[in-house]
Structure 1
Amino acid sequence: MNLKNETLNAVKPFVDYGLHEASYTSYSHALTEVAAIAYLLGKGYDPHTAYHTVESWEKNEKFY
């Protein structure tokens, strides 16, 4: 698999999640959430931990 396909396949679940999340919050919130997850993935967190870590930072669909 080439780098382009590998990258796009890796981010697709998070893009899909962000689009779904935006229907409940705002695009700004959803993009922030997906970017934070991507940042943690880049830091070496596994996807499950990255997602749950970012979700734990939310209260009433806002980051505090």
Structure 2
Amino acid sequence: MHYDPNMNYGYYIPYRDLKSETLTIIKPFVNYGLSEAKFTSVSHAMTEIAAMAYLIGKGYDPQIAYKTVESWEINEKF
């Protein structure tokens, strides 16, 4: 079966401006990651941001996601 993004597969997705909502939420984290990469490695910064985005996707408040991931670091390492 081929997935058709325009087809309703038995669940309701309310209309929202998903693009704006997503970009608004992640923009501060992207900016943080770009800044962080100047002091650590790009890999480290991307790992932090990916972990934060994952937690946000799991339903965590963005600030809690940030604080949680930062709490996992010891001497800028996970």
TM-score above 0.5: yes
19, 39, 60: which one aligns with 1:4: 19
How far apart in 1 are the matches of 2:65 and 2:21? Answer: 19
How far off is 1:55 after superposition? 0.5
For structure 2, which runs of at least 5 residues remain unmatched after alignment?
A: 1-15
Structure 1 segments unaligned to the other structure (5+ residues): none
TM-score normalised to structure 1 length = 0.89
2-structure distance, mates of 1:19, 1:54: 16
Is residue 52 of structure 1 aligned with residue 43 of structure 2? no
Shift of 1:24: 0.7
Query: 54-63 or 3-12: which moved more?
Result: 3-12
Q: Which of 42, 58, 69 is equivalent to 1:27?
A: 42
Higher share in strand:
1
Counterpart Cα distance in 2 of 1:53 and 1:6:
22
Q: CA deviation at 1:2?
A: 2.5
**Is 1:62 equivalent to 2:77 in the alignment?**
yes
- TM-score, normalised on structure 2? 0.75
CA–CA distance in structure 1, aligned partners of residues 22 and 64 of structure 2 = 19
| Bigger proportion of residues as helix | 1
Q: Which runs of 4+ in 1 moved over 2 A?
A: none
Q: Cα distance, 1:5 vs. partner?
A: 2.1
